[in-house]
Amino acid sequence: MDEEAQLQQIQLLKSTNDDHGGVIVKLDDDHNPMDSTTFLSILRPSISHWKHLGKRGVWVKLPIHLVNLVETLVKEGFLYHHAEPKYLMLVHWIPESGSTIPANASHRVGVGALVVNEKREILVVQEKSGPYQGTGFWKFPTGVVDQGEDICVAAVREVKEETGVDSEFVEILAFRQSHKAFFEKSDLYFVCLMRPLSLDIQTQETEIEAAQWMPFDEYAAQPLIEKHELLKVIKDVYLAKVDRQYSGFTPVSTRSDISEEKTYLYVNAGDMKRCNSV
């Protein structure tokens, strides 16, 4: 009996090819519970089959109800790659050469919303938790960008959630990258200039202690602003923006080769207009 005929008699894990010479196995919610012995009898010949085909990385997406199979996968050489609320992703590198499997996502993305009205008042909040809790410090709304959410959309959402104020994204004034921040991940933080579309404030009771419109000079005069280097630089950037000596980055709708969905490229639109008019 030739090898192909033998494989037809052996149950193998269903897989799809990825774009990098590997395979992806999705044990989704439709899979019935399976004991580790049965799973091992399918896993080992599957790995042998993929090795024969010259495959490299093997990704196994394990739903939460099949968590009993984790130990089997680990003992066969699989490593944790990342986890989500309803699944765990494990990966195995077949060749003897060094692995080229990309690491798990390395960054968390956050936004800070600098909402300034026509009176040059800034929308500020005091939080019920966090590093500034109980200090009396007034800060602008901040938050984390959700998966699949654009920076400009996240800034509008965070302002609405924390203060009830509707706002319009204007531009990214600046951004900061830091490391070993949240569970050892790096952090990207975007400071967004916003224009208010409403003025009435309705604070988010679960997270926000108080919110108000405050004259920018009063906000900038808070002692913590001068002591906190990042906040001091942000203040100076905004003042340069007011004096028309600074231009931030605005979103231009475009598409990427790596995704069919619409995306944004943030550019200095003011300088682009000046260059195109020359």
Residue 218 annotated in active site: no
Give CA–CA dist 22/19, Å, rounded: 7
Report the pLDDT value the prediction gives residue 263, as an integer from 0 to 100: 85
DSSP string, 57-73: EEEEEEEGGGGGGHHHH
CB neighbours of 76 closer than 8 A, spacing ≥ 6? Answer: 40, 43, 44, 47, 92
Q: What are the pLDDT digits (tens) for 209-226?
A: 999 999 999 999 999 998
- Find the catalytic residue in 3, 84, 127, 161: 161
Q: What are the pLDDT digits (tens) for 226-273?
A: 899 999 999 999 999 988 888 899 988 887 766 667 888 888 877 766
Contact 195, 170 (CB under 8 A): yes
Using DSSP's 3-state secondary structure scheme, residue 159 falls into helix
Q: What are the pLDDT digits (tens) for 154-206?
A: 999 999 999 999 999 999 999 999 998 877 889 999 999 999 999 999 999 88
